[in-house]
Chains A and B, each alone.
Chain A
């Protein structure tokens, strides 16, 4: 890793100021992606501004039928929170299947969504639940937040402060992991909400997206059978040494059906890390 100047930010405003002042400064949340990137010398920032010490960015609040998760809340806190488990169990399940326990102890929701890895789990939950991203400048709907591979609607220096999830009627996430990295080859988050059915897919394409045809089918009949025979279109899906676009397209259908089935059981099982 190249050397850089380290800043322990004292507040969100302080962090924003330090990022603005740096020649090529980056923000660091949990560092779970940034540090491996720097270790491989794939980036050479002049300054690293650490949000780890900023008070008030971490924590979970449930009120008015919504769960608000502070940007620096680690995945483990979401996964093990009784409040989250009661309000949106599928959200706890998503967090509980990100990376490994050590990643969950350090990695944060803000860092994950700001990075927007095309195979990350959280983006599926945000889009699937129709969440709202709150920053130091504004609120952004999840549908508008994830704009492409490793790209978001965040402006230069804009800092995520929290994510607000409306509680759905039922939801579940099914993930088919890459056997090496354990990121999602395909992950599908299905939610039935007052505003309709949402089917968000991660891992399969350049970024998280919604399967609108499946949403329509499920709006008519929220049951696995409604998706029978449905797959995603393989056009524009990822193709790599682990999975072809056709396989991913097929898996989107399988994971979606299993997620709907998990919703139907009432006891929402979340990811269930489908491997068997």
Chain B
């Protein structure tokens, strides 16, 4: 079986995997990072979104072996101990989650947007979320959360 090496949330990891092992399977089953979820088989729901080399990607549509040498960031790596990332905080403050299943993917997707656009409009956020489905919230509070989170990130960097 191939061996794959990558950097996950700042830590070097490696594992022996079948070539067909998806990145999400490697994260969940080999590394036990179960915050990244699988909600569909057709690359649409976005519950599996992580960052690969700094941008968001669907970990259900990548092979683990494609990530040789890559930097991977998952929801587990965002908080600094008990101190939440501003985007996590914004989701809590704005009730941007209910069952929580889509939430890690939503947050990781939102961070990619915030990195590109520090003050997204409601329309920017709604269009950006094309690849993330939530069945609970009706998106209303997710949109609010992402707008607030992006601004909080920008403010944090400025100060």
> How many residues of B sit at the interface, in one of the four size bands?
20 to 34
**Contact present for A35 and B19 (CB under 8 Å):** no
Residue of B nearest to A39 (CB): B41
Residues of A close to B128: CB separation below 8 A? 101
**Contact present for B63 and A6 (CB under 8 Å):** yes
Bound-state CA distance A106–B63 (Å) is 12
Q: How far is the CB of A179 from chain B (nearest CB, A)?
A: 12
Residues of A close to B157: CB separation below 8 A? none
Sample of 15 further A-B pairs with CB below 8 A, known A6-B63, A99-B130, A105-B57: A3-B18, A6-B2, A8-B68, A31-B63, A31-B66, A32-B43, A35-B63, A36-B43, A36-B61, A101-B113, A102-B43, A105-B56, A106-B52, A106-B57, A273-B127
**B109 CB–A CB distance under 8 Å:** yes
**B65 CB–A CB distance under 8 Å:** yes
Bound-state CA distance A212–B20 (Å) is 45
Q: How far is the CB of B22 from chain A (nearest CB, A)?
A: 8
**Contact present for B55 and A105 (CB under 8 Å):** yes
**A38 CB–B CB distance under 8 Å:** yes
Bound-state CA distance A105–B58 (Å) is 9
**Contact present for B41 and A40 (CB under 8 Å):** yes
Q: How far is the CB of A155 from chain B (nearest CB, A)?
A: 26
Bound-state CA distance A76–B128 (Å) is 12
Q: Tell whether A102 pairs with B58 under 8 Å between CB atoms, given A32-B43, A40-B41.
A: yes
Q: Tell whether A3 pairs with B19 under 8 Å between CB atoms, given A31-B66, A36-B42, A99-B131.
A: yes
Partner of B46, one of A6, A39, A48, A100: A100
**B78 CB–A CB distance under 8 Å:** no
**Contact present for B66 and A103 (CB under 8 Å):** no
Q: Considering residues A2, A38, A105, which has the most beta carbons from chain B within 10 angstroms of its beta carbon?
A: A105
The number of inter-chain residue pairs (CB within 8 angstroms) is 80
**Contact present for A4 and B19 (CB under 8 Å):** yes
**Contact present for B61 and A182 (CB under 8 Å):** no
**B33 CB–A CB distance under 8 Å:** no
Q: Considering residues B56, B61, B109, which has the most beta carbons from chain A within 10 angstroms of its beta carbon?
A: B61
**A63 CB–B CB distance under 8 Å:** no
Partner of A101, one of B20, B56, B60, B68: B56
**Contact present for B61 and A35 (CB under 8 Å):** yes
20 contacts between A and B (CB under 8 A): A3-B18, A31-B61, A31-B66, A35-B61, A48-B63, A50-B66, A99-B131, A100-B130, A101-B109, A101-B128, A101-B130, A102-B56, A102-B58, A102-B131, A105-B55, A105-B56, A106-B57, A106-B58, A106-B62, A273-B127
Bound-state CA distance A273–B109 (Å) is 21
**B71 CB–A CB distance under 8 Å:** no
**A265 CB–B CB distance under 8 Å:** no
**B150 CB–A CB distance under 8 Å:** no
**Contact present for A31 and B62 (CB under 8 Å):** yes
**Contact present for B57 and A48 (CB under 8 Å):** no
